[in-house]
Every structure is written in C-alpha cells, then in structure tokens.
C-alpha cells in the first residue's frame, strides 16, 4: 500500500511506520518517542513521521478512505446495522450519523486564528473535525477540521454545499441521524 | 433529531419515544469518538501547535486505521428483534399514569403517601436479565438504571417505597 516509501541506509520503512504509530497512539513528543525507539536523533523521528504522513496523504487515503473510495450501494449493503434496518425500515435508503468532535490545541500566536479557534463552550482553543459514519460505526469521511466558532449545523451545511462533497452519495429519502446541535439545518435537510 | 425541551418540564411521551428511536442508533458515533480518543492519544491530548496544519490528516489516518482494524459496533445482538418490535409497538402508547396524575392534580398538591414494607409488595413483577434488557430497550439503559437504584438505596440496603393512600395500587419509589 505504501508504495512511495523507499528503504535506504538510514531510513527503514518499518521503523518509520512504527515510530509514527508510536507517536499517534501515545501522543508523546518526538523526544520521548526517539528515546523509546532507541533512535539517537529526535530529528530523525520527525523526518520519519513527516514521510509517513506524506505517504498516507498520497497513496493510502485517496484510495482507501473517504467519500470517493466507497459507493453508496456498498455502504447500504455492508455497513448498515440491523437495528437501523428494522427500526426505520430503510430498504435501500442510506442512514448516516453526523457529529462534530474536537481536538484541543495550544493557543496560537496568530491573533485572528486564535480568536476563531477559541470555544466558549469548552473554554479552550480547539478545532473541530466532523465525523460522518454509518449506523454500524464505519467512518465514511472526516471533513475538516473546522473552526471552533462554527456550530454543527453550519458545518453540515458547508459539507453538503461543496462540490464532490457529501451530496454526491445522497439521494432523496435518505436518513440523517443527528443530535440537537443540528436544529438550524433540519428544514434544509427536509 | 431528538426533540427539544425548551421551557417545558418534560417531553411528551410521544416525543421521548421518538428521541429513543434516534438515540438507539446515534450512540454509535459517540462510541466511535470515544474509541478513537482512547486508542489514538495524540488526538485526545492537547495538540502541539506545530502539528496543527496536519490535524485533519492525523484524524483521517486514525479513522482509516479504525475502519480497517477496528470492530464494527453492534449492540444487543440476540435480543434485537424483541427490542425493536417492542419499541415499534409502544411508539404511540399513552402514559396512562401521567394522565391520571395530571387529572387528579397529584403533582400540584400534597398527596398523602403511606410507607410500604416488602411483605405487602408481593405481586411486584420478577424479570430475568434478558427481559429487563428488552423492557429498557437496550443494555446501556439497563446499566444506567443500576446507578439510579444506587441513588435511592439507603445505607442499610433497603429503599423506601410508599403507596398512595387513596389508591394503593400506585407505588412510589
């Protein structure tokens, strides 16, 4: 899958992937990861992570993740929970669940961004990735991250309006399962 | 979307049943967020600013890995049919007790209650764990009810039940 990565003298693909996963799973800094992995130089870890990130961006994600990698029929057939099927008698309609999650981050020195990324609800700086899943927990796509000042309804509105976005797999009669944060957009969806 | 309460004290039974139909499916996304936060700590902790431009990419990678290697979520496998049919059957039921309380104004004035001992409460229904799951329409609600129970139990392990003086078949906990 990761075809663009090459082994070289000081650059081993397995080593790089392990370092990357270690970072992602533990959330430790490059320095700690380099100590755990027994790599002398922490710069090497950040190079590893950078190359794995680029490789995911180029090779893996476009083909295997996101709206464009799967079809509407595939989702209906393989990723619809039995409970949803029976509860709403779907019969070839799509049921998707949307919600925004959040990632906290440090304060930004960029003043305009800082004021837009501060969430008064959580009292901290954050950005909001928007998750779209099927009823059995298969993640269709994660657009974003969006600014913290946007609410769920605005984000969904935006995701629907962009070209090649969510609207490509939707048809009339599909079901959205949402929480109360989306109340502003209910009329548009209908 | 679940119903909004706004300024009322309580949702109507119809609205709360509809909310249940939504929640029955919507828990999945909260579970997915929880799993990703738990597995991929980088996204759960405070993110370093230098990683900020790649935040979306990190999210997509974590979600891709979850799709590929994580389990699909499915609750109450064996009991699903019973639960769904119960939810559908009772969707439009009327809360008769609430109507009676409302009509007799029991919620507005002081109503005489009589303390009840366990000897008097003999015809209280006994249910198995599976029957309870169907009754509560899911295992999540069942585990919640345990903590409700813990709230009303006193330190001797007994809980105060009382009956209405004018109509002893109504029991209050």
For A147, the enclosing helix (H) or strand (E) is: strand A146-147
Query: pLDDT tens digit string along B113-125?
Result: 777 766 666 677 7
**B171 beta partners:** B163
Question: Could you tell me the CA-to-CA distances from A65 to A32, A50, A142, B10, B65 in Å, in that order?
Answer: 30, 20, 9, 42, 10
pLDDT at B100: 78
Identity of the residue in A79, A81, A186 whose CB atom sits nearest the CB atom of B1: A186
B73–A56 CB contact, under 8 Å: no
User: Is B25 within 8 Å of A24 when comparing Cβ atoms?
Assistant: no
Q: Where are the beta strands (DSSP E) in chain B?
A: 113-116, 161-164, 171-172
Chain B hits for A98, CB-CB cut-off 8 Å, are 29
User: Among B67, B58, B56, which residue's Cα sits nearest to residue A24?
Assistant: B58
A190 contact B CB<8A: no
Distance in Å from the first CA to the final CA of chain B: 32
Rounded CA separation B39/B61 (Å) = 12
Is the pLDDT at A9 greater than 60? The verdict is no
H helix or E strand, kind and range, residue B126: none
Say what the ipTM of the complex is. 0.82
Average pLDDT (B162-170) is 73
What average pLDDT does the structure give for chain A? 79
Residue A96 clears pLDDT 70, i.e. is over it: yes
CA distance A54 to A5: 9
pLDDT at B122: 66
Put simply, whether B87 touches A (Cβ < 8 Å) is yes
Is residue A71's pLDDT more than 70? yes
Beta bridge partner(s), residue B163 = B114, B171
Q: Rounded distance, CA A97 to CA B144, Å?
A: 23
Q: CA A82, CA B28: separation in Å to the nearest integer?
A: 13
- A69 neighbors A63 (Cβ within 8 angstroms): yes
Query: To the nearest whole angstrom, how far is the Cα of B129 from the nearest Cα of chain A?
Result: 20
- With a cut of 70, say whether residue A35 has pLDDT above it: yes
**Residue A68: per-residue pLDDT:** 76
Please answer whether residues A155 and A100 qualify as being in contact, where contact means their C-beta atoms are separated by less than 8 angstroms: yes
Distance from CA of B33 to the nearest CA of A (A): 7
Give A131 or B3, the one with higher predicted confidence.
A131
Separation between Cα atoms, residue A88 and residue A175, nearest integer Å = 9
B86 to chain A, closest Cα gap in Å: 10
Inter-residue contact B29 to A98 (CB < 8 Å): yes
Q: Which residue, chain included where needed, has tokens 């431009």?
A: B53
| Distance from C-alpha of B111 to C-alpha of B117, rounded to nearest angstrom | 19
- Chain-chain contact of A99 with B30 (C-beta, under 8 angstroms): yes
Give the pLDDT band of residue B7 (cuts 50, 70, 90): low
Give the model's confidence band at A79: pLDDT under 50 very low, under 70 low, under 90 confident, else very high.
confident
Strand partners, B161: B116
């Amino acid at each position: 899958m990761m075809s663009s990565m090459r082994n070289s003298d000081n650059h081993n693909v397995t080593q790089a992937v392990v370092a990357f996963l270690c970072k992602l799973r533990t959330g430790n800094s490059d320095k700690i990861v380099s100590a755990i992995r027994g790599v002398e130089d922490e710069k090497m870890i950040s190079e590893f992570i950078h190359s794995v990130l680029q490789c995911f961006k180029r090779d893996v994600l476009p083909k295997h993740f996101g709206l464009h990698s799967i079809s509407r029929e595939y989702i209906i057939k393989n990723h619809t929970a039995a409970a949803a099927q029976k509860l709403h008698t779907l019969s070839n309609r799509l049921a998707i669940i949307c919600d925004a999650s959040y990632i906290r981050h440090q304060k930004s020195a960029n003043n305009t961004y800082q004021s837009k990324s501060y969430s008064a609800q959580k009292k901290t700086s954050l950005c909001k990735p928007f998750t779209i899943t099927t009823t059995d927990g298969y993640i269709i796509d994660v657009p974003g991250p969006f600014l913290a000042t946007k609410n769920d309804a605005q984000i969904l509105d935006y995701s629907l309006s962009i070209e090649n976005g969510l609207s490509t797999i939707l048809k009339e009669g599909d079901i959205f399962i949402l929480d109360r944060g989306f109340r502003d957009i209910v009329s548009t969806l209908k | 979307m679940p119903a909004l309460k706004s300024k009322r004290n309580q949702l109507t039974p119809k609205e709360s049943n509809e909310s249940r139909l939504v929640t029955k499916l919507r828990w999945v996304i909260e579970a997915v967020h929880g799993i990703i936060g738990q597995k991929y700590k980088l996204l759960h902790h405070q993110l370093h600013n230098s990683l900020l431009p790649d935040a979306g990419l990190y999210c997509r990678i974590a979600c891709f890995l979850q799709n590929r290697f994580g389990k699909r979520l499915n609750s109450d496998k064996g009991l699903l049919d019973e639960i769904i049919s119960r939810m559908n059957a009772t969707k439009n039921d009327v809360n008769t007790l609430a109507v009676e309380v409302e009509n007799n104004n029991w919620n507005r004035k002081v109503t005489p209650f009589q303390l009840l001992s366990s000897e008097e409460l003999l015809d209280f229904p006994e249910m198995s764990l599976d029957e309870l799951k169907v009754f509560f329409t899911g295992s999540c609600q069942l585990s919640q009810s345990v903590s409700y129970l813990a709230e009303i139990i006193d330190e001797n392990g007994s809980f105060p039940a009382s009956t209405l003086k004018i109509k002893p078949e109504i029991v209050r906990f």
